[in-house]
Structure 1
Amino acid sequence: MYNHDQLATLAAICDSGSFEGAATALHISSSAVSQRITALERASGAALLQRTRPVLPTRNGQALLRLARQIEVLTVDADAELRGGSTTTNTCAPLRFSLAINADSVSTWFQPVMKAIAVDRRILLDLHIEDQDHTDALLRQGAVMAAVTTSRTAAPGCTVEPLGAMVYWPACAPSLIRDADVDCCDPSRLPMLRFDKKDDLQHAYLRKIKAHREPPIHYLPSNREFLTAARLGLGWGVLPEGQIARDLADGTLVHLDPDHNVTIPLYWQRWHLPSETLDRITSWVRDAAHHALIETPVQPTPSRTTRVGG
């Protein structure tokens, strides 16, 4: 029903954010790009793109974008199978694999996956860094093929499996406690670091210890700068155990509260598609998580819960 060249053009526009960028990527004219999209919108009976900067898919466009991505995956898999899986004789361009994942995972347990992709050389990684409570939204929109998320409920057309859980500890520079003219046992009186408005990790910890006040907050929407700020004593933050183990060992950071941590279960969601490429990536993710994350705690299913992220 839908023309493959037209679907590929839709994907190219969404990748580049413009009709001109898609024309460059596809080695065709801008007018040819416009003609293909007009024909695809006529065939679907709906507007597929918002003519914004960057150009974004509409709700109907998201559905066809997901179809375009799936066709691309299946095409790459079929070409590899016909050529015996060879990376040197494969005539298709490397598959662009889009993944929604939180910054803390990228800086810790996910790094072996990036190493495997580097060795494999058949995949181009397209990371969408997002709070883990919000990554599944990108999956539902068709913007990504897979997501590391806190949601146990599979998005439509996807499978879900537990990866394990990340352990976070409230930590700070020794100077923050030493120099503070407050009760150092009360984190709500100390300056607090927060990644952005979506970051609920620190507040999850404050709820856990039943703190009754809002601390003064510094916002640092960068994983590296967030850790640097903690090291410099700007404030305390809830940080991944795997990221701060060396800092805790050498005294650069100390446990603000060694009796309480925050544990975040993570899940792997991917398209429910018979794909050797997606299976291979899933295997790498599963293996990396097995070596770095703790077993996912058994959780009740509450009627309504404030989930945590960071």
Structure 2
Amino acid sequence: MIVYEANKSWLRDVRHLWVSYTMKRIMQHTLIMGAITAVIAFLTLDVLQLSPWKIDGSVFSLLGIVLSILLVFRTNSAYDRWWEGRQLWGRLVNDTRNLAVMAHAALPDEDLDTRRFLAVHLANFGYTLKEHLRKGVQLEDLIFLSPEEHQLYASKAHLPSFLAWQIQHRIQQSFRNGDIAGEDHLNLKVHTQALLEVTGACERIRKTPIPFSYNVYLKLYIMVYTGILPFGLIPHFGYFAILFVMFIAFAFLGVQLMAEEIEDPFGLDCNDLPTGDIAHTIRKNVFEILEVRHVENEPEKNLYQKVF
């Protein structure tokens, strides 16, 4: 995700556009439309020297209004998906923090093992969900996996569910052992359930794109509109029509391609959500809340210690 400071520097913000893959695609399509318009203008005005058929400009105005309405719906739909994804990851941060705070307060002071377990598994849940919504979980990204856990995780088709079960199972064990009171157990259950609720909602966004027919129809409309636009502008503006066609194509193609970029907000495009940074935030927060830290150069059984 491109990080910038709003209301600081107009020109500096515009400069960020050129690092976007989508913006490069927009420019490529715009230049292609400019080249096509230039060829049509050259053939019409210089080579064939035809008397161009002048099309009433109001036709393009009406078509442009219809196209604008469709693009507004398209971008609103894409942005709603992007914003819902951000809300879901914000909820995940809040629920992991609340779960860590409640567990830390409910558990006996001497129960360091459960605190260690929850810190590691809550952190790994964020990393797992991040990659699960992309191309599949990379076990190398998870922290403090033993060889047995690595082998076990590799056999799971839906690792976020398994991690959520491990967290819930460990809390359930503490409740059965009398380490957690009944009221605290009910309060913790709400936040453990939220892990899979967030996962399911993110999967719904990820696996339900904009309807294919609507997407293709809009692309076809843009292609036809920009394709006939040179024939309507060249008779009125001559070679200056090249600039006008490029500008109009830049506007319409840009809106469409930017909507395509953000409709799946969990990827690695420049304007996708910073889920990797959010997962790191979850890890940092839960380790701090549960007062657990990693101790370098220690045997594996002493990878953590409580910080007072």
Higher relative contact order (CA 8 A, sep 6+): 2
Q: Which has the higher helix share?
A: 2
TM-score normalised per structure 2: 0.21
Larger radius of gyration: 2
